[in-house]
Amino acid sequence: MSDPALQHDKQIMLRQHLQGRGISDVRVLEAMARVPRERFIGDSIRAEAYADRALPIACGQTISQPYIVALMTQALDLQGDERVLEIGTGSGYQTAILAELAREVVSIERHEALSRQAAGLLAELGYDRVKLVVGDGSLGRLEEAPYDRILVAAAAELAPRHLLDQLVPGGILVIPLGDREQQMLQTIRKTVDGTQVESLSPCRFVPLVGDEGWPEG
């Protein structure tokens, strides 16, 4: 990063907004330090790249605030050899963070324009272990299942059954659950007897639109 102001803002993000709020996974912090968040947003809001808030992107979607990105990533407990399914590619920022930490990432986005833009940027930045797909993320992607981890960057009322079915035993699903206005970010670990659920933080995401999510509109 050549912009001194952005470099300064990134250090504040890492120290105050992430470490200061309980993000302790060193690999996650290092990934957040490496990925240039400013590349994933429009030039008009470039100066806000490392502010701890969600920012608008195309197609009425958002790029999540850095703390939420870090919290969700930390909850996945990535060790480096996992196959990760991401629901909601969006700008590709979370995809890049995952690609820094996992063996392989499959990411589904329902907006073709967003997926295409993210694919170009991720390739430019050298992330070659990422496969981007346009489709209904609520249904997952059976062709490449099972997955060790699944991250859902959109809100659902209930965890989609297709996603749980595509998760390996012992695998982790991180997803915001609730209504359209307010959700609770949850970690769901798949066990032989069912699931173990841990609530992480109140949050607010765009809705998961699809057959196992919210209807369009």
Q: What is the per-residue pLDDT for 60?
A: 86
pLDDT above 70 (res 195): yes
Please give the Cα distance from 51 to 48 (Å, whole number). 5
Cβ atoms of 157 and 183 closer than 8 Å: no
pLDDT, tens only, 12-64? 999 999 999 999 999 999 999 999 999 999 999 999 999 999 999 988 888 99
pTM given for the model: 0.95
Q: What is the mean pLDDT of residues 116-125?
A: 97
pLDDT at 59: 87
CA atoms within 13 A on the CB side of 83: 10
What residues are labeled active site?
64
| Domain residue ranges in the chain | 4-203
State how far the Cα of 114 lies from the Cα of 111, in Å rounded to an integer. 5
The CA distance from 31 to 34, in Å, is 5
**Mean pLDDT over the full length of the chain:** 95
Closest CA to 114 of 61, 66, 37: 61
Residue found under tokens 């595509």: 166
Please report which confidence band the pLDDT of residue 217 belongs to, taking 50, 70 and 90 as the band edges.
Answer: low
CB count within 10 Å of CB 149 equals 24
Q: CB-based contacts of 113: which residues, under 8 Å, 6+ apart?
A: 58, 59
For the cut 90, the answer to whether the pLDDT of residue 5 exceeds it is: yes
The candidate with the shortest Cα–Cα distance to 209, out of 160, 173, 174, is 160
Domain 4-203 class, CATH top level: alpha beta
**In contact, 87 and 154? CB cutoff 8 Å:** yes
94 near 176, Cβ under 8 Å? no
> How many angstroms separate the CA atoms of 27 and 89, rounded?
21
Angle between helices 112-124 and 93-101 (to 10 degrees): 50
pLDDT of residue 1: 47
- The helices-and-strands tally (H runs, E runs) of the chain is 6, 9
Cα separation, 45 vs 185, whole angstroms: 27
Q: In degrees rounded to 5, what are phi and psi of residue 198? A: -130, 130
The fraction of the chain above a pLDDT of 70, given in percent, is: 99
